[in-house]
């Protein structure tokens, strides 16, 4: 079991108001699973992502990460876990605009105290993994949206995290780039990476093996990927085959405006 949430509640106090966000969340995810968490705006999926990613704490309940109870960890301890065990991919990339692709990918390694020479080797390997070995010195303004997200994925994976946590990873991309990014996620999953993806899109959730749906802060369903998802992926087969004939750098050649 890579993570387990037991009776998780989360609420915020706004003035004299008590605002419940998550209610009795019970969830377990095995190592190597590919899970999509879905829900409408206000369903609590972003709050759940923040708790799983150690960016926020539950008001009550138990969080076991790799069989270790981290429910009452201090901020410094949670920061260490984030850097060591969880890789983040965000909709808006969250890249430093004045830093090169290489320097952006190096950030988690800098925080971890990895020596400079080793850091560069690991970053080059990560960028090669996502098809950007010829873009290492490019800054985000010189990259397309798809390329920026590839840099973000390289940064997320450079430390060898146990979990890849992705928040709307294709939300800022055109459909073709989105398909390519999901293809990269599929490749990572096949290598054994545990992926937890937050999305509002049935089409994107179709790539996951398991779909969890939240409404009003509660899990209303937790199912294996429905047959409709398989049909959707089959409909993309021809486009994926076409993309595979081109290198990621060639496909993403256009520069973001």
Whether 219 maps to a domain, the answer reads: yes
Provide the whole-model pTM.
0.85
* Burial class (CB within 10 angstroms; exposed 0-12, middle 13-18, buried 19+) of 67: exposed
Smallest Cα–Cα separation from 144: which of 180, 107, 190, 120? 180
Whether 257 maps to a domain, the answer reads: no
CB 108 within 8 A of CB 155: yes
Domain count, the chain: 1
pLDDT of residue 76: 93
**Domain of 152, in residue numbers:** 3-251
Hey, what's the torsion of the CAs at 134, 149, 83, 81, to 10 degrees? -150
Task: Using the predicted structure, report yes or no on whether residue 249 has a pLDDT greater than 90.
Answer: no
CATH code of the domain covering residue 56: 3.40.50.300
pLDDT of residue 238: 57
Range of 113-122, 221-230, 235-244 with top mean pLDDT: 113-122
Task: Please state, in angstroms and rounded to a whole number, the distance separating the CA atoms of residues 87 and 84.
Answer: 8
10 Å Cβ neighbour count for 197? 26
Whether 69 maps to a domain, the answer reads: yes
pLDDT of residue 219: 97
Task: Using the predicted structure, report yes or no on whether residue 135 has a pLDDT greater than 90.
Answer: yes
pLDDT of residue 233: 57
| Distance (Å) of CA 36 to CA 39, 156, 177, 204 | 10, 18, 19, 8
Whether 92 maps to a domain, the answer reads: yes
* Sign of the alpha-carbon dihedral angle for 254, 176, 133, 83: positive
Task: Please state, in angstroms and rounded to a whole number, the distance separating the CA atoms of residues 10 and 24.
Answer: 9
Task: Please state, in angstroms and rounded to a whole number, the distance separating the CA atoms of residues 168 and 194.
Answer: 16
Whether 256 maps to a domain, the answer reads: no
pLDDT digits 0-9 by tens, 85-117: 999 999 999 999 999 999 999 999 998 899 999
Task: Please state, in angstroms and rounded to a whole number, the distance separating the CA atoms of residues 105 and 159.
Answer: 10
CB 255 within 8 A of CB 177: no
The fraction of the chain above a pLDDT of 90, given in percent, is 77
Q: Where are the beta strands (DSSP E) in the chain?
A: 3-14, 17-29, 34-38, 60-65, 68-69, 86-90, 163-167, 194-199, 210-215, 218-224
pLDDT of residue 14: 84
């Amino acid at each position: 079991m890579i993570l387990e949430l037991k009776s998780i509640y989360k609420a915020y106090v706004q003035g004299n108001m008590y605002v419940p966000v998550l209610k009795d969340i019970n969830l377990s995810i095995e190592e190597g699973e590919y899970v999509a968490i879905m829900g409408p705006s206000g369903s609590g999926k972003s709050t759940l992502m923040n708790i799983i990613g150690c960016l926020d704490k539950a008001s009550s309940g138990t969080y076991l990460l790799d069989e270790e109870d981290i429910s009452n960890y201090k901020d410094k301890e949670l920061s260490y876990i984030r850097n060591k065990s969880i890789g983040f991919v965000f909709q808006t990339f969250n890249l430093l605009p004045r830093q090169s692709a290489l320097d952006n990918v190096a950030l988690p390694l800098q925080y971890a105290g990895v020596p400079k020479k080793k850091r560069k080797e690991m970053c080059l390997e990560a960028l090669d993994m996502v098809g950007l070995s010829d873009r290492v010195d490019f800054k985000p303004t010189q990259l397309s949206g798809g390329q920026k997200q590839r840099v973000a994925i390289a940064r997320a994976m450079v430390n060898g995290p146990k979990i890849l946590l992705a928040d709307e990873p294709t939300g800022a991309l055109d459909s073709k780039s989105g398909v390519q990014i999901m293809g990269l996620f599929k490749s990572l999953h096949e290598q054994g990476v545990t992926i937890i993806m937050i999305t509002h899109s049935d089409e994107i959730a179709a790539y996951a093996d398991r779909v969890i749906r939240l409404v009003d802060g509660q899990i209303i369903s937790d199912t294996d990927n429905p047959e409709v998802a398989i049909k959707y992926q089959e409909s993309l087969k021809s486009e994926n085959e076409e993309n595979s004939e081109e290198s990621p750098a060639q496909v993403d050649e256009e520069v973001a405006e």
